[in-house]
Amino acid sequence: MDDTSKIIAICGGGEIASAAAIRLFKCGYDVVMFAGREENLLRYHLCLGDALFLGQKTVEDITATILPEDVLAEQQEKSFDDPLSGGVRYLLKDRKIPVLEAAEFEKTIPLLSLQALVNAQPASKTPIPVSIDHAPLVVGLHPFHQPGVECHLAVESRLNYFLGRVISAGIHLPEEFSLSDFFKDPFAHCQTPVEGLWLSLKAIGDEIRFNEAIGKINEIEIRSPHDGQLWGLAHSGRFLAAKSPVALIYQGRASEQYRYLSFRENAIAGGIVQAVMQFGINE
């Protein structure tokens, strides 16, 4: 691909990865995402990684898409160095965000002439083994990725007074000051007790009452532990491991805010954009 292109690769398909992709895309960067099908996207209505399941996903007027079979076939006929990179080029020119399987990461990354790579994978599951050598700039999430070891710069991702702060190697933040010391977390997760096939009986945005059925796992009803509103649900029809979260319940008054990325995701995305632009200025 053209070495002058401003390509940013993002590992992860969830809310943080999607917020970063949207912000970078709107700043004029070409963005490529790598996501794993094993990611349990509770707020999938806001996740560009959901394109792996739907084929295409639009969030905030930005469209992400898998590589269509006809595009891959066409690139194969044109004898590019690799049909995947040709397909990525095609979608980028069409002002879309290509979403590739995590398994394609290692063979595709060397062909993309990256300016930066953002590791926005969930801390508990990292299907893509990102190293600091994968790009001139690798941005991680603090405290899960250590600057100078796993990334060049990290962005504070915890809900505290440093949320969104860009951290470089050797910088130590003061002792964590959590906002939860002052504010009750209004969200609660509901988990499945056993593994099995999940069938949702509700939709994201629905109001829910205490002990009302949210869905079923192997015909076992999973009931809500709270009154509230469903801000997230596991995709119906997915096979889930035991203790997987199946619902995110907002315990406040029902509202339309569930439709939008939160201040946390947007703050982290802003820090990621700062890190990328800061690197470009200092390069």
Q: Where are the domains of the chain?
A: 7-175+263-282, 187-251
Alpha-carbon span 269 to 252, nearest angstrom: 26
* CB of 176 closer than 8 Å to CB of 189: no
Amino acid identity for residue 142 in this structure: H
Q: Give the per-residue pLDDT at 176.
A: 61
pLDDT in tens, 173-206: 766 666 666 667 899 999 999 999 999 999 999 9
Classify each residue of 94-132 as buried b or exposed e, where b means 16 or more C-beta atoms within 10 Å of its C-beta: eebbbbbbbeebeebbebbebbbbbbbbbeeebbbebeb
DSSP conformation class of 29 = -
**What average pLDDT score do residues 157-162 get?**
88
Average pLDDT (83-97) is: 88
- CATH code of the region 7-175+263-282: 3.40.50
Confidence of residue 9 (pLDDT cuts 50, 70, 90): very high
Tokens standing for 151?
Answer: 């990334």
Which of 36, 6, 194, 265 is closest to 114 using CA atoms?
6
* Residue 140 half-sphere exposure toward CB, CA atoms < 13 A: 24
Exposure string for 207-235, b = 16+ CB within 10 A, e = fewer: ebeeeeebbbbeeeebebbbebbbbbbbb
CATH 3.40.50.620 fits 187-251, yes or no: no
Q: Say if residues 85 and 112 touch (Cβ distance below 8 Å).
A: yes
Nearest in space to 273 (alpha carbons), one of 3, 1, 10, 2? 10
Report the pLDDT value the prediction gives residue 73, as an integer from 0 to 100.
72
Residue 20 binned pLDDT confidence (cut-offs 50, 70, 90): very high
DSSP string, 193-221: SS-EEEEESS-TT-EE-TT-EEEEETTEE
With beta carbons less than 8 A apart as the criterion, state whether 167 and 274 touch.
Answer: no
Which pLDDT value is given to residue 1? 44
State phi, psi for 97 to the nearest 5 degrees.
-100, 115
- Mean pLDDT is lowest, of 82-86, 198-202, 219-223, for 82-86
Cβ-count burial of 183 within 10 angstroms (0-12 exposed, 13-18 middle, 19+ buried)? Answer: exposed
Q: What is the helix (H) or strand (E) element at residue 53, kind and residue range? A: helix 51-54
**pTM of the predicted model as reported, rounded to 2 decimal places:** 0.91
Predicted confidence band of residue 160 (pLDDT cuts 50, 70, 90): confident
Tell me the one-letter amino acid at 87: G
